[in-house]
């Protein structure tokens, strides 16, 4: 049966001009037609109808740095949770993201074929999932969650809930191929130190140039790509110089790194939400002092790095990177970005730019014929005040693949 959204003020994911008095015709989960209400009038008698009442209608949002298995703020603790219980927690996390208006997520570590299958078959009511399988770290890198005093009787390797260790060209090739075998849409590498890891300083370079190149080459064989955790300018340069498509965090960026991202036609995905929420609540939620100290190293520079990306003309995606009890604050990213850039830039990042990052232009992040019918009806105009999206009650209606997830229009 057809579904028609009537009396819409449409933001299409790109244009700053809102199209008033529009109707959207949906069939079989796809947008069939977009036009003024008069041109679609003939379809109404045979269709289910929703009157948007002149409200702001936009594409469903995309979070390009999400952790479906981010059950605990301290990822060390996630390894201690049984896989079955992790799956149940992931269901709650994914359902929460959808209710906040995120109809698509790109997982950044651990998201797997099991979750994707559960979402596709309706066992979980959540966003569309793009997943990497296990993220790949070197021994002692950001994904190696063993503490310095951790003792293994057989310390041959580490494999956790969200990341796995690979050292050297052969291990890297094997591990990338293993993730691709399971249908991974992208590969995640850790190429610098990180905050929520027990043994590596932020400034540490991780993985060799050869290992990075092998990961990129292997991903390319499956028409996949590499996303890389990279805080420092040197890590960013090593990534974009060797074919990495998506740079995560980039908090300690210099002009040269920002320019390199832009010139390589790569994407940067700053994650201001995780920085601000850990700075505000990390200690009270039990993070070890060493992790809090590392967060302080990146916190003061994150907005400066964001401004450098904008000045260089780099493509900037939208991601949050939240974990554990911080996850419900996913939409704080809108408010934090408003301090640096205009609402239209933020909305594009969360829709059409992220769709391009996922290689899904025209299918996601837009309202146009042929796109998936992932649509939000919003109270107020986020182009005037993007923080409206932080208040979930302002998202009055959510459609995912043309299915009504929530309708509070009355």
pLDDT digits 0-9 by tens, 88-117: 999 999 999 999 999 999 999 999 999 999
Tens digit of each residue's pLDDT (9 = 90 or more) over 165-208:
999 999 999 999 999 999 999 999 999 999 988 889 999 999 99
pLDDT reported for residue 388: 97
Instruction: Please determine, for residue 153, whether its predicted confidence score (pLDDT) is greater than 80.
Output: no
Task: Return d(Cα 255, Cα 262) in angstroms, integer.
Answer: 11
Contacts of 41 (CB under 8 A, 6+ apart): none
Reduced DSSP (H G I as helix, E B as strand, rest coil) percent helix, strand, coil of the chain, to 5: 35, 25, 40
Cβ neighbour number for residue 140 with a 10 Å cutoff: 19
Please give the domain boundaries of the chain with CATH numbers for all domains: 2-60+365-407 (2.30.40.10), 61-330 (3.20.20.140)
pLDDT reported for residue 75: 86
The pTM (predicted TM-score) of the whole model is: 0.95
Instruction: Please determine, for residue 410, whether its predicted confidence score (pLDDT) is greater than 80.
Output: no
pLDDT reported for residue 149: 66
**Minimum mean pLDDT among 20-24, 78-82, 255-259, 322-326: which range?**
78-82
Residue 215 CA: distances (Å) to CA of 21, 184, 207: 48, 13, 10
Helix, strand or coil, per DSSP, at residue 134: coil
pLDDT band of residue 349 (cuts 50, 70, 90) is: very high
Tens digit of each residue's pLDDT (9 = 90 or more) over 58-74:
999 999 999 999 999 98
Instruction: Please determine, for residue 136, whether its predicted confidence score (pLDDT) is greater than 70.
Output: yes
Task: Return d(Cα 358, Cα 375) in angstroms, integer.
Answer: 18
Mean local confidence (pLDDT), 363-370: 98
- Asked if residues 107 and 190 have their Cβ atoms less than 8 Å apart, the reply is no
Instruction: Please determine, for residue 159, whether its predicted confidence score (pLDDT) is greater than 80.
Output: no
Tens digit of each residue's pLDDT (9 = 90 or more) over 296-334:
989 989 999 999 999 999 999 999 999 999 999 999 999
Q: Output the CA torsion 150→156→158→164 (10° steps).
A: 150
- Asked if residues 104 and 374 have their Cβ atoms less than 8 Å apart, the reply is yes
Mean local confidence (pLDDT), 4-9: 96
**Strand locations in 119-259 (E):** 128-130, 135-137, 163-165, 187-190, 226-232, 246-252
Question: What token pair was written down for 263?
Answer: 């010139």
pLDDT reported for residue 44: 65
Mean local confidence (pLDDT), 46-57: 94
Tens digit of each residue's pLDDT (9 = 90 or more) over 238-250:
999 999 999 999 9
């Amino acid at each position: 049966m057809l579904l028609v959204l009537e009396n819409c003020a449409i933001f299409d994911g790109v244009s700053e001009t809102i199209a008033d008095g529009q109707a959207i015709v949906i069939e079989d989960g796809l947008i069939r037609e977009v036009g003024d209400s008069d041109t679609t009038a003939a379809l109404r008698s045979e269709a289910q109808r929703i009157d948007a009442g002149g409200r702001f209608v936009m594409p469903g949002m995309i979070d390009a740095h999400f952790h479906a298995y981010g059950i605990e703020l301290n990822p060390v603790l996630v390894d201690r949770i049984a896989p079955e219980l992790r799956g149940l927690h992931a269901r709650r996390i994914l359902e929460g993201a959808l209710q906040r208006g995120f109809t698509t997520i790109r997982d950044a570590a651990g998201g797997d074929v099991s979750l994707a299958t559960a979402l596709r078959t309706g066992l979980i009511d959540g966003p569309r999932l793009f997943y990497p399988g296990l993220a790949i770290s070197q021994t002692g890198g950001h994904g190696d969650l063993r503490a310095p005093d951790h003792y293994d009787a057989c310390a041959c390797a580490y494999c956790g809930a969200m990341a796995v260790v690979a050292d050297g060209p052969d291990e890297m090739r094997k591990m990338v191929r293993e993730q691709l075998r399971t249908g991974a849409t992208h590969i995640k590498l850790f190429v610098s130190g990180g905050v929520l890891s027990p043994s590596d300083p932020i400034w540490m370079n991780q993985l060799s140039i050869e290992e990075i190149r092998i990961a990129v080459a292997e991903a390319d064989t499956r028409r996949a790509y590499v996303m890389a955790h990279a805080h420092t300018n040197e890590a960013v340069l090593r990534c974009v110089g060797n074919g990495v498509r998506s740079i995560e965090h980039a908090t300690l960026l210099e002009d040269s790194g920002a320019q390199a991202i832009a010139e390589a036609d790569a994407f940067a995905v700053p994650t201001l939400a995780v920085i601000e929420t850990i700075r505000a609540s990390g200690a009270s939620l039990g993070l070890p002092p060493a992790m809090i100290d590392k967060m302080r190293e990146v916190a003061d520079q994150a907005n400066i790095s964001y401004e450098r990306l904008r000045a260089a003309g780099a493509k900037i995606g939208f991601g949050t990177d939240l974990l554990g009890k911080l996850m419900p604050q996913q939409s704080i990213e809108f408010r934090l970005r408003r301090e640096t850039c205009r609402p239209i830039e933020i909305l594009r990042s969360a829709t059409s730019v992220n769709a391009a990052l996922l290689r899904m232009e025209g299918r996601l992040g837009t309202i146009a014929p042929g796109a998936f019918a992932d649509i939000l009806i919003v109270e107020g105009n986020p182009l005037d005040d993007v923080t409206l999206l932080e208040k979930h009650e302002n998202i009055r209606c959510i459609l995912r693949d043309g299915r009504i997830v929530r309708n509070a229009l009355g």
